[in-house]
Amino acid sequence: MVNLDPIAEDAIEPIALPVRDEDGRLDSDFIAAIEAAIEAEDSAELILLAANLHEADTGDLIETLAEDARADFVRLLGDEFDYTALTETDEAVRIKLLEALPNSEIAEALGELDSDDAVYILEDLDEEDQAEILGGLPYADRAQLQKALDYPESSAGRRMQSEFIAVAQFWTVGQTIDYMREAQDLPDSFYEIYVVDPAFKLLGAVALDKILRTKRDQKVTSVMDETRHAVLATEDQEEVARRFERYNLVSSAVVDETDRLVGILTVDDIVDVIQEEAEEDMRALGGVGDEEISDSVLTTARSRLTWLVVNLGTAVLASAVIGLFDQTIEAMVALAVLMPIVASMGGNAGTQTMTVAVRGIATQELGTRNMIRVLRREVLVGLLNGVALAILIGLTAWLWFQDLGLGVVIGGAIVINMLFAGLSGLLIPVALDRLKVDPAIASSVFVTTVTDVVGFFAFLSIAALWFGLPF
Amino acid sequence: MVNLDPIAEDAIEPIALPVRDEDGRLDSDFIAAIEAAIEAEDSAELILLAANLHEADTGDLIETLAEDARADFVRLLGDEFDYTALTETDEAVRIKLLEALPNSEIAEALGELDSDDAVYILEDLDEEDQAEILGGLPYADRAQLQKALDYPESSAGRRMQSEFIAVAQFWTVGQTIDYMREAQDLPDSFYEIYVVDPAFKLLGAVALDKILRTKRDQKVTSVMDETRHAVLATEDQEEVARRFERYNLVSSAVVDETDRLVGILTVDDIVDVIQEEAEEDMRALGGVGDEEISDSVLTTARSRLTWLVVNLGTAVLASAVIGLFDQTIEAMVALAVLMPIVASMGGNAGTQTMTVAVRGIATQELGTRNMIRVLRREVLVGLLNGVALAILIGLTAWLWFQDLGLGVVIGGAIVINMLFAGLSGLLIPVALDRLKVDPAIASSVFVTTVTDVVGFFAFLSIAALWFGLPF
């Protein structure tokens, strides 16, 4: 980041301390100064330090503060605290902080915010607090927020902003500009205006640069883009995010079931959803839900235990397979030493294919059309790498135990397991997706089950046959 | 998606077939129609079907077509083919297609594109083709693209657009609007204009809505936001993406080392980077590099093999630990049956912690400030879930082998391994990050090594001691 401050003298108030260090983390001296000001109940100093921060920095700062200092921070900043910062904190932090603040103050602050930010802050509170806060708002604001809250969770209606500019189809560009100069209650920033018919049905959008580049006497419809990608208010935010991403949208109109314009979505709201979506898949594959780094021990332990217990089932199943061969192992204990290698290699290869498949399904790059080609590829990759690893592991086992037969047996088992790894890594996520189960969440248990069971079974049974051992 | 087409009669050409099906995938009838038109070399029909598609749809369509049909598709569309669509395909698909097209045609097409799209298409070609294509461009375009290509790979300079509007600091809003109405070579769409001093040093940005809402005789500087977040052209795109995401930016100026304005970045370019970054971590954890679903068998096999071989080392190490206890196992084969459970549970728990830690490091939510708190949480979660699983597994083992001692031994080993899983899952990514190694890529090998080695060692050694077995 470059420091460009040629007119800094005119700026209202230069902050003496840098807010972030070189790595982009909040600067520790800055945090210390804030903490000292809170400790000393020095409201003036705190305002000087923190009132002009960007809401994202304030949000990070709140997360960094000790839990009991957070409410003090908000209280000492008083009217200078920008509640938008709460949209930038973890859910757990936000809820606790809101519980510590008087509902009347929250209501007053929410009245000042854009409707999307107000809804974001309200939606996770319990119904009682919600009702009390809504009750403290002027009627128009309350009705607007209530309407947004009535849309399903994670829907476009929850994320949208109700402040926008809509003009009639017979207006000129000049009329539109004059109207914008006068209008109240506009969003903080916007990138297009909307054209509606007398029933408020959406006709299209006009980008602001188009308006600026067009003569005043032209009709707005002459520079309007027909709306091809309007979002339905009940649509899920992930669907919407995918569309924003695919079509490089910066903002989009939101309409109700009767095609009437009810709000707008801007890309800054959607960026978070896009990131969350990719992150969700990653967490799901890693066996963690939507936990946050600020969650408590109990919440975390409980949410992770579910996954571990499910995996315990897999592990026990794999053990049962080994149990079938207890006499074989007793006769040749080297098998017990080597068997985890076969299962582990299969598990790793299966995870590789599964990662690609899960992401391909999420981004819709993997579909029926290229299924056969991808399946063929996975089988060939499994065979190729299976043979490569079989040689490597076979040689290792041969040298280690001075037994060529053991090398051959483990090599053969590896090739078989790598093949099953490729097949299950692709087919299991695809099948789950068909069954409308999120492949990111459920795939890895099934894939590991396959690679463990096949790995142990192939290795131990080939060994029993090759060496003529009992089983 | 809602179909809003009240003025469809005025549209140049309604597409008869729906482009995408309900799931958002390209419609199979639509693809079939395209393929038939290519097969029949029916240029007119193809233009009717595909010329007015959004570039993102065209990009997906190209990926869907068989490899040898792609160049025909471009050739038959002729001047109606929008090369921007190539920025929406996989790298492998783009490079192959470009190789199949004459360089002179590519040069002609690139001259029409925004500079960021042209650079995106050029950058992955080999130097020879690059030089030939650049040679076919008018001098001004060539110089502009060459300058962008001189910036490091994945830098802001590569992603930026060189088309933007910059005005002098003493201009009025009215002058600015008049200038915009006349200016040539503007980007397709833009959201702010920039204010520069006589040496072209960046002073600040003015959002278009501000310009529209301000009287013509006001100075632009009166509505200007001083630039606090200008991007340096040499900065890495991931850094930039993080800033866009944190501060909800829609566009940003790009400056060179002397603070002079050289280009702009818009969020639609950055959205892809944000998504890629989260995806990269996921792929890295899954043991796959930046492979694409369209990569060839050999490319895929080779890139995955590296990871498998590294993991083989881990697996052999774990086997060596088991090897230490071969006499113990020989004396009590049930240990061989149960031991994978201990390692597997530890591996899963370690992966959970690691997933959270890797993502926390990437988003900078995990830092020195909350390290102790998170460490304490991971230890407690490990203990809690360790005890819960120990009871479950202990009971299972007891009932299965009718041996209470075996249940106690496996329970104890599980608690120990879960503790190590939590510790290593957190500390290994953090340590790697300190050593400037990407934790997403390297963590999982180390974490699995810890949980395998500790798991096998703890279980077998406790068993040997408890039952007085040889080792």
Q: Give tens-digit pLDDT for A281-308.
A: 888 888 887 787 778 888 889 889 988 9
Q: In what order do the strands lie in the sheet with B192-196?
A: B166-168, B192-196, B202-207, B225-226
Confidence (pLDDT) at A336 = 93
A355 with B393: Cβ contact below 8 A:
no
Confidence (pLDDT) at B459 = 95
B247 contact residues in A (CB cutoff 8 A): 54, 56
B323 with A311: Cβ contact below 8 A:
no
B218 has pLDDT over 60: yes
A462 has pLDDT over 80: yes
Please compute the mean of the pLDDT values over residues A228-248 and round it to a whole number: 86
Measured distance CA(A46)–CA(A75) in Å, rounded: 11
Please compute the mean of the pLDDT values over residues B208-227 and round it to a whole number: 88
B208 contact residues in A (CB cutoff 8 A): 191, 208-209, 212
Least confident of A23-37, A273-287, A333-347, B132-146: A273-287
Confidence (pLDDT) at A1 = 39
Report yes or no: A338 at the B interface, CB cutoff 8 Å.
Answer: yes
Report yes or no: B306 at the A interface, CB cutoff 8 Å.
Answer: no
Q: Which of residues 214-243 of B touch A (CB under 8 A)?
A: 214-215, 221, 226-232, 235, 239, 242-243
| Average pLDDT score, chain A | 87
Please compute the mean of the pLDDT values over residues B191-209 and round it to a whole number: 91
% of chain A residues with pLDDT over 70: 95
A232 with B336: Cβ contact below 8 A:
no
Q: Which of residues 20-49 of B touch A (CB under 8 A)?
A: 23-26, 28, 31
B11 contact residues in A (CB cutoff 8 A): 226
B326 with A337: Cβ contact below 8 A:
yes
B288 contact residues in A (CB cutoff 8 A): 352, 355-356
Confidence (pLDDT) at B13 = 43
B281 contact residues in A (CB cutoff 8 A): 282
Which residue, among B54, B169, B194, B208, would best test binding to A if mutated, counting the most A CBs under 10 Å from its CB? B208
Which residue, among A34, A91, A304, would best test binding to B if mutated, counting the most B CBs under 10 Å from its CB? A304
List, in order, residues 6 or more apart from A227 with CB less than 8 Å away: A202, A203, A204, A205, A253, B4
Q: pLDDT tens across B418-449, in order?
A: 999 999 999 999 999 999 888 888 888 899 99
Measured distance CA(B461)–CA(B471) in Å, rounded: 8
Q: pLDDT tens across B13-22, in order?
A: 444 567 887 7
Which 3-state string (H, E, C) describes B340-351? HHHHHHHHHHHH
Measured distance CA(B365)–CA(A269) in Å, rounded: 19
Nearest to A4 among B259, B345, B370 (CB): B259
Least confident of A224-238, B238-252, B269-283, B450-464: B269-283
Question: Nearest-CA distance from B162 to chain A in Å?
Answer: 17
Nearest to A304 among B54, B250, B385 (CB): B385
Report yes or no: A138 at the B interface, CB cutoff 8 Å.
Answer: no
Q: pLDDT tens across B21-71, in order?
A: 777 778 888 999 999 999 999 999 999 999 888 888 999 899 888 888 999
- Contact of B426 with B357, CB cutoff 8 Å: yes
Report yes or no: A288 at the B interface, CB cutoff 8 Å.
Answer: yes
Confidence (pLDDT) at B6 = 39
Confidence (pLDDT) at A248 = 83
pLDDT band at A317 (very low <50, low <70, confident <90, very high): very high
- B154 sits in the region (left: phi over 0; alpha: psi -120 to 50; else beta) called left
B372 contact residues in A (CB cutoff 8 A): none
Please say whether the dihedral angle defined by the alpha carbons of residues A122, A127, A128 and A131, taken in this order, is positive or negative.
positive
B248 with A259: Cβ contact below 8 A:
no
Confidence (pLDDT) at A12 = 39
CA-based R_g, chain A, Å = 30
- Contact of A156 with A265, CB cutoff 8 Å: yes
Which residue in chain A has the smallest CA separation from B213? A181
A384 contact residues in B (CB cutoff 8 A): 297-298, 301
Question: Nearest-CA distance from B211 to chain A in Å?
Answer: 9
**More confident of the two residues A274 and B307:** B307
Please compute the mean of the pLDDT values over residues B247-257 and round it to a whole number: 89
Using DSSP's 3-state secondary structure scheme, residue B27 falls into coil
Report yes or no: A321 at the B interface, CB cutoff 8 Å.
Answer: no
A312 with B393: Cβ contact below 8 A:
yes
A337 with B351: Cβ contact below 8 A:
no
Which residue in chain B has the smallest CA separation from A275? B275
A180 contact residues in B (CB cutoff 8 A): 209, 212-213
Confidence (pLDDT) at B16 = 54
Structure tokens at B214: 């301000």
Which 3-state string (H, E, C) describes chain A? CCCCCCCHHHCCCCCCCCCECCCCCECHHHHHHHHHHHHCCCHHHHHHHHCCCCHHHHHHHHHHCCHHHHHHHHHHHHHHCCHHHHHHCCHHHHHHHHHHCCHHHHHHHHCCCCHHHHHHHHCCCCHHHHHHHHHCCCHHHHHHHHHHHHCCCCEHHHHCECCCCEEECCCEHHHHHHHHHHCCCCCCCCCEEEEECCCCEEEEEEEHHHHHCCCCCCEHHHHCEECCCCEECCCEHHHHHHHHHHCCCCEEEEECCCCEEEEEEEHHHHHHHHHHHHHHHHHHHCCCCCCCCCCCHHHHHHHHHHHHHHHHHHHHHHHHHHHHCHHHHHHCCHHHHHHHHHHHHHHHHHHHHHHHHHHHHHCCCCCHHHHHHHHHHHHHHHHHHHHHHHHHHHHHHHHHHCCHHHHHHHHHHHHHHHHHHHHHHHHHHHHHHHCCCCHHHHHHHHHHHHHHHHHHHHHHHHHHHHHCCCC
Report yes or no: B310 at the A interface, CB cutoff 8 Å.
Answer: no
Confidence (pLDDT) at A113 = 87
Q: pLDDT tens across A138-150, in order?
A: 998 899 899 999 9
Question: Nearest-CA distance from B153 to chain A in Å?
Answer: 18
Nearest to B312 among A304, A354, A393 (CB): A393
Q: pLDDT tens across B108-119, in order?
A: 898 888 888 999
Report yes or no: B207 at the A interface, CB cutoff 8 Å.
Answer: yes
A380 contact residues in B (CB cutoff 8 A): 297, 301
B12 has pLDDT over 70: no
Question: Nearest-CA distance from A82 to chain B in Å?
Answer: 15
A389 contact residues in B (CB cutoff 8 A): 305, 308-309, 312
B315 with A340: Cβ contact below 8 A:
yes
A131 has pLDDT over 80: yes
B275 has pLDDT over 90: no
Domains of chain A with bracketed CATH: 12-154 (1.25.60.10), 166-285 (3.10.580.10), 297-467 (1.10.357.20)
A401 contact residues in B (CB cutoff 8 A): none
Report yes or no: B91 at the A interface, CB cutoff 8 Å.
Answer: no
pLDDT band at B286 (very low <50, low <70, confident <90, very high): confident
B158 has pLDDT over 80: yes
A15 has pLDDT over 60: no
pLDDT band at A4 (very low <50, low <70, confident <90, very high): very low
- Contact of B383 with B423, CB cutoff 8 Å: no
Nearest to B180 among A213, A293, A388 (CB): A213
Report yes or no: A306 at the B interface, CB cutoff 8 Å.
Answer: no
Question: Nearest-CA distance from A138 to chain B in Å?
Answer: 27
B232 with A279: Cβ contact below 8 A:
no
% of chain B residues with pLDDT over 90: 48
Report yes or no: B274 at the A interface, CB cutoff 8 Å.
Answer: yes
B2 with A343: Cβ contact below 8 A:
no
**More confident of the two residues A186 and A114:** A114
Confidence (pLDDT) at A416 = 96
A1 with B229: Cβ contact below 8 A:
yes
Please compute the mean of the pLDDT values over residues B168-195 and round it to a whole number: 85
| Average pLDDT score, chain B | 87
